[in-house]
Amino acid sequence: MISIIYIIINIFLNLFLSYFFYSLLQKSYYSLKRVCFRLSDQIQYYFPLFLISILSLFTFILPLFSPFLLPLNLLSYIFILIFLPKVKGKFTARFIRIFIVNNLFFISFNIIFYLLLPKFLFLSQIFGFFNLLISFYIIKPFDYYKRNKTYKKTKNKLNYCNKLKIIGITGSFGKTTTKNFLISLIHPHRYLSPSGNINTPLGIANYIINNVSIFDRILILELGIDEINGMNEFKKYLNLDIAIITSIGEQHLRTFKTVENIKSAKAKITNLLKNDGKLFYFKNEIDDAYLKENIIKNAILPSDYKILFKEKNMVVIRDNKTMINVPFTDKNLVKDAFMAYKVSLELFNSSINALNLSKLSPPPRRKAIYSKDNLTIIDDSYNLNLKGLSSSIKNTLKENKPLTIFTGGIFETGKNIRLLFYFYNLINVADKIIYCQKLLPIEKRIIEEIPGLKNKILYQKNIIYPNNGTLLILTSGDNSSYK
């Protein structure tokens, strides 16, 4: 009877464990390497983790002494569930497949041990942990077959839509902003572009299959990669008319390892260009040495969009003899707007493009400005990066108002001491810092070392939000909304 109850509870706990683990895997684009990075970031203190590991091992041994101690073996699952990040997964076809395979295997294993080796039923716990990986690798060949079948179907559809011009945008940041600016500039021409955060090879392929038709003329895509050979997946079905490389920074430095690798990986978008395709890029962001030879290059220099003068929330720039009003002063937004403008001229050479440029507005959560009584709120929480952070803070300080920064850190820093020091020195210019995440031990040490920083930091649960001055939001996800 104890064994049957144990099996039922064990299966129930495995449902939770597999759901949270595969949700984390899904959030990490089904990469075990990225899962390890996320789990590493979750670890606040290593001693409690070591203690939990010892207790888990102890619960495995207990059933050997008495079958009545078998239920204590379930504590190991409970310990792991407490430690594992609680990520909500989406029940996609891939997620459902791996989730069902895992739990079917686990149930079968428990039944086999109950019938054949009841004294060793506690070993099902160990199998349960390994089964998380076993199920993933069993499903992987099927996923690979299905993914390549989707790519082939996508390529056939694009071949059929032979009048469609395809524009691919890559870079560390500025992709979505450039895309949205470009869409605003070419409106009302018939274009198509995924909304939201669809930038993976499979996500884009499915979007093309479900949305592109022979009547569409322009397809604008963001190509997101975080590995050195990530662009190779897009090569399986995409042939670009125009490739755009936006700003380069230290995004995904933990997977790319070096900035040079980031530049090399982003430059591989040139392998996707048609024979007469054109590349647009910022000369000061990426050297020609990284780029493929024998392609048409349109390099943009900082001198090409010389700022003539600034007014409140607006700058005037010159492109050759054309005077252009840009409705914001942040240099990164101006830069992205100019890139979009130059590409729009390549598509439709018209004076209307310059006129449309003055009507642009930043996308949500990208340096968007709101007012609430005497408080100015600047939301720069989407895809926050160190380059953009520096620019945002410099612009905010020009207002000469009390500055409060609302942040939870930046994912790209990870546990890199150099990047963490840079981040905390940047935000130290604020009068008050509201922190909405738990600090890692290494972060606490750095905060202690930077003069004056510790006294500025308040934690979200113990603070009163400002009602005047400037609030700069520098975090993402659920914490990015000011309430």
Q: Taking Cα atoms as reference points, which of 231, 221, 219 lies closest to residue 199?
A: 221
Domain-wise residue ranges, the chain: 2-145, 161-357, 368-480
Mean pLDDT by 10 residues, the chain (483 residues): 77 87 88 78 56 60 59 66 77 93 92 81 77 93 94 95 94 89 83 86 95 92 90 95 90 80 93 94 88 86 74 67 75 87 85 71 70 75 70 76 81 74 86 81 86 83 64 56 38
According to the model, what pLDDT value does residue 19 have? 92
According to the model, what pLDDT value does residue 350 have? 67
According to the model, what pLDDT value does residue 412 have? 65
User: Matching CATH topology for 161-357 and 368-480?
Assistant: no
CATH 3.40.1190.10 fits 161-357, yes or no: yes
According to the model, what pLDDT value does residue 71 have? 62
The model's pTM: 0.80
Identify whether the C-beta of residue 399 lies closer than 8 Å to the C-beta of residue 376. yes
Q: Taking Cα atoms as reference points, which of 437, 460, 315, 444 lies closest to residue 42?
A: 437
Q: Architecture of 368-480 per CATH? A: Alpha-Beta Complex (3.90)
According to the model, what pLDDT value does residue 220 have? 96
